[in-house]
Structure 1
Amino acid sequence: MSLIGVSMLEMRQLIEQACLPDRCEVTCTDGVSLTIRLGQGQNLEEGVVLTGVSLQNLNSCRDVVNLVGQLHALRSSHPTSLRAMA
């Protein structure tokens, strides 16, 4: 993980809390990249899924904030879509 001293659980919580009040689920099955589901309100069915978010690209809190901004922009422009981000 690129953010020194931040565990995967803490990274998930950072991203999920930054997306409030919308529902967000963050998973990392391979230890290398994240899959993020951002819903519309509490409904994940009306949102977007972003896959392939490299942990190496998350080096600072600013990177996390930019990621959350990208998620919201993606949801606004392409609801219920699947995107990959390297």
Structure 2
Amino acid sequence: MSDFELYSQLLDGLSTILEIPYEKTDLSDLDNANILLRYEITRSGILLYGNELDYLELKSFAFRDYIDAGKLNDLEALLISKRQRMISDALAC
């Protein structure tokens, strides 16, 4: 079974159980999600099923990972800003 088929089956089953249209349901693999997505999901999400201690550990990891990445995000924003200014200056000539 492909990842897409597994995703589709999980999405369909979850939508049926929760009685929510699949168009309004989303699944994410938090082990492989980017730092911001994992943080946002654990910050505002609720545990529907599973071990609460495991979920709290995931929330703690996601928060620490997000905080640790803050300096890298700031550096990335600075580099993008500088690059945009450089392009704007080059186009203005």
TM range (shorter): under 0.3
Higher normalized strand content (fraction of residues): 1
Q: Give the TM-score of the pair, scaled to structure 1.
A: 0.27
Computing the radius of gyration from Cα coordinates, the structure with the larger value is 2
Q: Point out which structure has higher relative CO (alpha carbons under 8 A, 6+ apart).
A: 1
Of Structure 1 and Structure 2, the greater helix share is in 2
